[in-house]
């Protein structure tokens, strides 16, 4: 598609349930990123994919968080046993990859609320 | 490790007056620097980027930024604010494999 697409756009879940957030990057982009935007926390890096591999997972906050990417395209971020502090906007981004000056394009985010 | 400091959490201007949003960075190497804008309930949109070419960078919607290595600054300016410029602005630094480090953001308020 024309831009980075994320689904669902909004998700309300009960504490303790698992959630999956999906990201469709721009076609042909090899690099894919997940960020989290929380009130009072700013934008935090979660994980970076180059192709299907994740050379940098340093931002995942706990082992309840995992992500995968298949076919060098779609990525899924999974949060197990959700907690209220997981409530945030989860932003996916993609870029052509490799060079630090490449433009990174963001989706509109998945708004997660844990009640 | 790289970092950015946005010196103002809020900036208020009147429509038609100049805009200045300040950003200082810290980086071990030659950084790539970006400004992104986020309108309410919208995603992040790239305004402009610096990647070691011209130090004065022009972006969309009349914004520009100047990279000053001696001052480690990358301030964002616009000669004349428009009501539609009201949004949150993020200064961002990138090194290596494009791990972006975001500043805490500056909220621009534009009054009629």
> What integer pLDDT is reported at residue B97 of this predicted model?
62
pLDDT above 70 as % of chain A: 96
- CB proximity B6 to A under 8 Å: no
Q: Does B52 touch chain A (CB under 8 A)?
A: yes
CA distances to A3, A100, B86, B93 from B67, rounded to whole Å, are 29, 16, 23, 12
Q: How confident is the model at residue A97 (pLDDT cuts 50, 70, 90)?
A: confident
The CA distance from A110 to the nearest CA of chain B, in Å, is: 10
In the predicted model, what is the mean pLDDT of chain A?
A: 91
Q: Which chain A residues are closer than 8 Å to B43 by Cβ? A: 4, 91, 106-109
Q: Return d(Cα A110, Cα B20) in angstroms, integer.
A: 31
Q: Tokens for B91?
A: 């200064």
Gap between the Cα atoms of A82 and A115, Å rounded: 9
Residues of A with CB under 8 A from a CB of B: 4, 31, 33, 35, 42-43, 45, 48, 50, 55-56, 91, 93, 95, 97, 99-109
Q: How confident is the model at residue A1 (pLDDT cuts 50, 70, 90)?
A: low
List pLDDT tens digits, range B20-70: 999 999 987 778 899 999 998 788 999 999 987 788 999 999 999 999 989
Whether A31 has a pLDDT exceeding 60, the answer reads yes
CA distance B111 to B70: 34
């Amino acid at each position: 598609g024309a831009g980075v697409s994320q689904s669902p756009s909004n998700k309300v879940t009960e504490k303790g349930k698992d959630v999956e957030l999906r990201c469709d990057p721009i076609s042909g982009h090899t690099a894919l990123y997940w960020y989290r935007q929380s009130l009072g926390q700013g934008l935090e890096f979660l994980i970076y994919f180059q192709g299907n591999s994740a050379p940098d997972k340093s931002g995942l906050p706990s082992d309840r968080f995992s992500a995968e990417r298949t076919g060098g395209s779609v990525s899924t971020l999974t949060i197990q046993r959700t907690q209220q502090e997981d409530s945030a906007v989860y932003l996916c981004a993609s870029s052509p990859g490799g060079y630090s000056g490449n433009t990174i394009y963001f989706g509109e985010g998945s708004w997660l609320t844990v009640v | 490790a790289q970092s950015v400091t946005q010196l103002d959490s809020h900036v208020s201007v009147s429509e038609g007056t100049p805009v200045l949003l300040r950003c200082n960075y810290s980086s071990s190497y030659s950084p790539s620097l970006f400004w992104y804008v986020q309108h309410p309930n919208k995603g992040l949109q790239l305004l402009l980027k610096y990647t070691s070419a011209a130090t004065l960078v022009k972006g969309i919607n009349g914004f520009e930024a100047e990279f000053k290595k001696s001052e480690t600054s990358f301030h964002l300016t616009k000669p004349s604010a428009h009501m539609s410029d009201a949004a949150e602005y993020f200064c961002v630094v990138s090194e290596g494999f494009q791990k972006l480090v975001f500043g805490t953001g500056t909220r621009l308020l534009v009054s009629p």
